[in-house]
Structure 1
């Protein structure tokens, strides 16, 4: 499979041919790099990965129908399909859809929670209502994902309208990457917010994927 614009192509899935049925992980494109890294680190060769567009992070109403389309397309080819999304702004619609389809999904309200660890995040969320979260992926695409679509490259006067209610940027680092840390600091400075870095690693994403047994 190939990563193209942070979304995995299904060409690799079609190319499996007569390979034995495997576990298919269906994820947000914003998690592609992390999931592929976990596959490699842990030798999880019983899993394949396909992703929906990372930009749906901004339009979560598209996620439940998108998940249904992929599950129905591939459910006859795999023993198990696992949905690597939390609720992600769908207001419970994704959970209901997964129950309808008979597939499991990651617990939690969003990826910031499961990267932090859902139990830990639940304890701190009320104290961080004014925090703007970034992950490795979101730092790497900050300009194309946030800055330019919000028009801040041409209209910096809109900065306070978008971020005036935030007090700090929390960078949840999945990897120890000095370049990403420097860029995250620069993003916070541009937003006029305090900066905090936390090394979360892969959090509950790793735990959830590790619990998926190989197909039998």
Structure 2
């Protein structure tokens, strides 16, 4: 089983005459990226994931990616950063530009799973989003960090301006759908499920794999 919040490394074999590619990714995308690597037979790709909990401290993402690039970039022909901006305020884009590597387009994973253009067109300012990862890890990444398990009265202070919890589903998993539905109930929000699959993540990784 792939860990949900840990540094993860998988290593492939470079094809004859070709160089190895590193995907430096958010740990919240580990399952999806591993599945795409397996489905596409990308044996020349290595995956290095940083802890997903960095999303609770977005100011730490760019420095962590920069440090990881400093450690690993010399070992690879190409590196692709599987993060969107993720609340870094452009800091991650600047790191990638300075290091000469590409990253996923978009403000965050909710956008690239649904498709950046489609997400922008919706302009849903009253929607709170979950992905498969966040549905699975709702308590670890939302309930406990916000103190809602100890102070449920804080719910409206945090979520009073939301109306709907939108579950962007990467897989067709009834158990995850039920987890997401229960999260909506806990937050006092209406529930909507959208099947997105891997969205823009799949073509972005395919382009990185091709070079």
TM-score, normalising length: structure 1: 0.91
Aligned twin of 2:195:
199
Residues 24 and 79 of structure 2 are in contact (CA less than 8 Å); yes or no, is this contact kept in structure 1? yes
Residues 24 and 47 of structure 2 are in contact (CA less than 8 Å); yes or no, is this contact kept in structure 1? yes
Aligned twin of 2:140:
144
Report how many residues are paired: 208
Equivalent residue for 1:114, pick from 93, 112, 115: 112
TM-score, normalising length: structure 2: 0.93
Equivalent residue for 1:188, pick from 184, 189, 197: 184
Aligned twin of 1:30:
28
Unaligned stretches of 5+ residues in structure 2: none
SS of the equivalent of 1:76 reads helix
Question: Deviations 1:141-183 (Å, cap 9, x if unpaired)?
Answer: 0011111121111211111111111000000000000000011
Equivalent residue for 2:127, pick from 124, 127, 131: 131
Aligned twin of 1:42:
40
Residues 169 and 188 of structure 1 are in contact (CA less than 8 Å); yes or no, is this contact kept in structure 2? yes
Q: Distance in 2 between matches of 1:204 and 1:198?
A: 15
Q: Do structure 1's residue 179 and structure 2's residue 178 form an aligned pair?
A: no
Q: Distance in 2 between matches of 1:145 and 1:40?
A: 27
SS of the equivalent of 2:24 reads strand
Q: Distance in 2 between matches of 1:41 and 1:145?
A: 29
SS of the equivalent of 1:203 reads coil
Aligned twin of 1:167:
163
Bigger shift: residues 97-106 or 143-152: 143-152
Q: Distance in 2 between matches of 1:50 and 1:122?
A: 29
CA RMSD of aligned residues (A): 1.9
Unaligned stretches of 5+ residues in structure 1: none
Q: Distance in 2 between matches of 1:195 and 1:112?
A: 16
Q: Distance in 2 between matches of 1:138 and 1:86?
A: 16
Give the 4+ runs in structure 1 shifted more than 6 A. none
Aligned twin of 2:6:
7
Q: Distance in 1 between matches of 2:8 and 2:193?
A: 32
